[in-house]
A and B are shown apart, each in its own frame.
Chain A
Amino acid sequence: MGDRQPIAKRSRLKRVLDDVYVVPLVDRWLLHSPLRSTTAIVNTAAVRELKKADPDLVRLGALSSLIESPPSDPPRPMRGPLKPDFLGIVPTRRCNLNCLYCGFGAANASSSDLDPQLAVSAVDWMIEQARKNNAEGVDIHFFGGEPFVAPEVVDVVVHRARARSAERGLNCRFEADTNGIFDETRCRFIGDYFDSVVLSFDGPEDVHNRQRPAKGGDGSFETVSRNAVYLSRSPAELCLRVCVTSLNVKRLGSIAHWFCDQFHPAVINFEPLKPTTMSDRAGLQVPDPWEFAVRYIEAYRVASRFGVRVVYAAAAIERIQYTFCPVGRDTLIVSPDGTLSACYSLPEEWKAAGLDLTMGHLSAAGKMVLDQSAIEKMRNIPAQRNRCRRCFAQWHCAGGCHLMNHRTNRGEDYDDFCTQTRLIAAYLLLDRLGDEESLQKMVRSRRAAEALALVASDRLSDWEE
Chain B
Amino acid sequence: MASGSCFRCHPAVAWSVEKSSIILFRSGTNDAIELRHPESALWDFLSRGIQMERITAMMCVLRSSTQQSAELWIKRRTAEWLRAGWLIQGDRIG
Binding site for B on A (CB under 8 A): 116-117, 120, 152, 155-156, 159-160, 162-163, 165-166, 171-172, 185-186, 188-189, 192-193
Apart from A155-B41, A163-B36, 10 more pairs, CB < 8 Å: A116-B58, A120-B61, A152-B57, A159-B44, A159-B62, A160-B61, A163-B20, A163-B38, A189-B44, A193-B17
Known: A156-B61, A163-B20. A185 touches B49 (CB 8 A): yes
* Interface residue B83 (Cβ < 8 Å from any Cβ of A): no
How many chain B residues touch the partner (CB < 8 A)?
17
The CA-CA distance from A188 to B48 in the complex, in Å, is 9
* Interface residue B77 (Cβ < 8 Å from any Cβ of A): no
Contact between chains at B48 and A189 (CB < 8 Å)? yes
The CA-CA distance from A156 to B54 in the complex, in Å, is 11
Smallest Cβ-Cβ distance to A191: which chain B residue = B17
Contact between chains at A117 and B61 (CB < 8 Å)? yes
Measured between beta carbons, the chain B residues less than 8 angstroms from A172 are: 19
Within 8 A of A (CB), among B43-84: 44-45, 48-49, 54, 57-58, 61-62
Measured between beta carbons, the chain A residues less than 8 angstroms from B58 are: 116, 152, 155-156, 159
The CA-CA distance from A69 to B17 in the complex, in Å, is 50
Binding site for A on B (CB under 8 A): 17, 19-20, 36-38, 40-41, 44-45, 48-49, 54, 57-58, 61-62
The CA-CA distance from A171 to B44 in the complex, in Å, is 20
The CA-CA distance from A116 to B63 in the complex, in Å, is 12
Contact between chains at A159 and B37 (CB < 8 Å)? yes
Known: A159-B44, A189-B48. A166 touches B37 (CB 8 A): yes
Measured between beta carbons, the chain A residues less than 8 angstroms from B45 are: 155
7 contacts between A and B (CB under 8 A): A155-B45, A156-B58, A159-B40, A159-B44, A166-B19, A166-B20, A172-B19
Measured between beta carbons, the chain A residues less than 8 angstroms from B41 are: 155, 159, 163
Contact between chains at B20 and A162 (CB < 8 Å)? yes
Contact between chains at B37 and A163 (CB < 8 Å)? yes
Contact between chains at B20 and A116 (CB < 8 Å)? no
